[in-house]
Every structure is written in structure tokens, then in C-alpha cells.
Amino acid sequence: TLITLIHDAVKEGNQFIIATHSPIVMSIPGAVILSLSDQGVEKIKFDEIESVLLLKQFLNYPDSFFKHLF
């Protein structure tokens, strides 16, 4: 898998710069996550990523999202 290839390459000393919305890719152990905003570039934790927080909320309470749609 892509994750395995990245993990193995990093163990050999390689580095990657990856722009992604994938929570799976962002959660690779040892990943440094940078967020781009109006305030500039800042290092953030996986659990602080807005899309990850939204996904967790949806998975825990899907009905609360659908009640706004239907």
C-alpha cells in the first residue's frame, strides 16, 4: 500500500512533502502536519485538524448531520 511504501522509505531516511485531505495519510506515525491559514503556516496535531474533527463527529453522530439535510 501507499502507507507501507512511505513508511519503509522514511525508515531508510527519505522525506516526503504530501498535500492531502486523507486522514489515513495524515495519521502516519511520526508525520509532521503543517496547516496553512491566513495566519501563515503552523504545526498542528492530528486531533486538531478540522476535517478529522468533522469526520469523528459524523462517525459518532451521523443522524445529527442528516437532520440538517432532510
Residues contacting residue 9 through CB under 8 Å, at least 6 positions apart: 16
Q: What is the pLDDT of residues 24-58, one digit of tens each?
A: 999 999 999 999 999 999 999 999 999 999 999 99
Question: Taking a C-beta distance cutoff of 8 angstroms, is the pair 27, 35 a contact?
Answer: no
DSSP 3-state of 69: coil
Q: How much of the chain exceeds pLDDT 90, in percent?
A: 84
Provide the grid cell at 11: 525508515
Q: Which domain holds residue 25?
A: 2-66
Residues contacting residue 29 through CB under 8 Å, at least 6 positions apart: 7
Whole-model pTM above 0.85?
A: no
The total of structural domains in the chain comes to 1
Report the Cα 50 to chain-centroid distance in Å: 9
